[in-house]
Amino acid sequence: MSHYSKHQTDNKLCILQIGPVPPAYGGVSSFIHNTSRYLVKRGHNVIVTTLSFKPRKKDEEFDFGRNYKVIYFKVFPFLFLKAWWRFIELMITARLNTSSWEVFKEGLIKILRSKSGVKKKIGSLCRLSLIYDLCKTYEVDAIIGHHGDEKGLFAIIVGSVLGIRGYPFLHGGAIFYDDRTPGPVKEVVKTVIKFAEKCLFCSSNSINRARELGMPVQKAIHVGEGVDVESIECRPIPPMSPFHVMTIGYLSPHRGLEELIQAIALAALKIPNLKLSIIGDDPYNYWNNLKNLVSKLNLYDSVKYLGEISQRSYLSLLKNTHVAAFLLRGPKTGSLASCLEVQAAGIPVLTTGKGGLYEYVKDGETGIICKSSPQEVAAALVRIYKGYLQGKWQPEVIRSWAANHSWERVARNIEFAFLRVLE
């Protein structure tokens, strides 16, 4: 009896998640961290591999909350020998099955074509081999590769060869490519969609995008997005001065930060002592552009960029926040986890609703969905401010909405996605 067959009787799985863990915060890393925690609470064994050799940095808050195993690849003298041995084994095993060989061959070709230079190609082969090694060593039953890039394809290839379920999780990111994306990278995404038996999603927005790329609707499994309300304090409404707006997420033009800053300048005419805090990594050096805009509008005392902050500092900041703004401009899915987290703290959300956010805000009750122009955003900010003065935006009401989107429910949906194939 195989390890996978054995679990038909006890319904307990060993699940491998391929992707990042906190830090950084929010997004995919938060999703992996929290679903892993709750899958373990439901009796499953969960392993996360980040496909890197060491954590970028440590955060005691997250380390303390981990009940799952995180594996970083270790550098040792025989690493490449081991990877090569596992790759040969993987290839031979795939060759023995016609359907697995097709997935292995086409998937590997597409991955290698998407990489420039010999070093990157060898790196992809090593990562694929070491994922296969993890699955063999820990007797993995199911694999989730986060995003529609090589991680999603790794899950599909290894799952197909081992006869276990390997599903890509298509959050956003890779599937929202545009005309500037290199052709070979697009081909990886299309191959993920082609060979995936099922695709996991946390938003209808991403499902619609995958369908545009040719995914049959029956492949889609919507597991939802979650929040751990117990770990986030429901803050009482802070004093109305300063009136504090916060936004979180890596700095990028698609997040509508320029419009938000312009809206702050307009809304400040009607909201006394209006402040904006911007939180997040700046991988594209975008703050330089925003800083010039802040200077032009004379908002140095009103707009602050805090960069990346610890989880503890983030939770502390929520206590003094009146509005959380997520003004995504394009179709790319994003900010879902952060949107639910701020609502768990009882904070109303101001959003364009794009990027899947319309699913996670109750317009008029837990926030406002508005258009993206600075004038519309400013008007919405004033509405929220006046709502506070009229006794609206009660924290307990907003928090109860967020509580309906628990990580327990998401973990249960993921569990069902894998276990139903055993029935």
Torsion of the alpha carbons at 149, 150, 155 and 158, rounded to the nearest 10: 150
**What stretch of H or E contains 66?**
none
Residue 56: the pLDDT is 65
Pair 206, 255 in one domain: no
How many CB atoms are located within 10 Å of the residue 110 CB? 22
| Contacts of residue 416, Cβ cutoff 8 Å, sequence gap at least 6 | none
Beta-bridge mates of residue 110: none
**Are 398 and 410 contained in the same domain?**
no
Q: Are residues 222 and 256 in the same domain?
A: no
Query: What pLDDT was estimated at residue 25?
Result: 59
413 and 392, same structural domain? no
Q: Write out the H or E segment, with its range, that includes residue 159.
A: helix 150-162
Cα gap 340→355, rounded to integer Å: 14
HSE-CB of 67 using CA atoms within 13 angstroms: 12
> How many domains, the chain?
2
The answer on 235 and 146 residing in a single domain is no
Work out the angle at residue 187's Cα, subtended by the Cα atoms of residues 104 and 357, and round it to the nearest 5 degrees: 110
Other Cβ atoms closer than 10 A to 343: 29
User: Which parts of the chain have pLDDT scores under 70?
Assistant: 1-10, 23-26, 53-59, 61-62, 64, 421-423
Q: Could you read off the pLDDT of 216-253 as tens digits, one per residue?
A: 999 999 999 999 999 999 999 999 999 999 999 999 99
Which element (helix H / strand E) includes 28? helix 27-41
Question: 124 near 149, Cβ under 8 Å?
Answer: no
Q: Is 30 helix (H, G, I), strand (E, B) or coil?
A: helix
Cβ atoms of 346 and 319 within 8 Å: the answer is: no
- Judgement on whether residues 310 and 299 belong to the same structural domain of the protein: yes
Cα–Cα distance between 204 and 288 in angstroms, integer?
A: 34
Shared domain for 188 and 300, answered yes or no, is: no
Length reported for the chain: 423
- The SS3 assignment for 220 reads strand
Q: Is the distance from CB of 388 to CB of 241 less than 8 angstroms?
A: no
> Do residues 320 and 304 touch, judged by C-beta distance below 8 A?
no
Residues 304, 335: contact at Cβ < 8 Å?
Answer: no
Q: Give yes or no: residues 99 and 183 share one domain.
A: yes
pLDDT confidence of residue 420: 73
82-130: pLDDT as tens digits: 999 999 999 999 999 999 999 999 999 999 999 999 999 999 999 999 9
Residues 11 and 156 in one domain: yes
Q: How many helices (H) and strands (E) does the chain have?
A: 16, 13
Residues 391 and 352 both lie in one domain: yes
Q: Are 184 and 49 part of one and the same domain? A: yes
391 contacts 359 by C-beta, under 8 angstroms: no
pLDDT at 65: 73
CATH of the domain at 379: 3.40.50.2000
Q: Do residue 219 and residue 276 come from a single domain?
A: no
For 191, the domain range is 3-226+406-422
Q: What SS3 class is residue 22?
A: coil
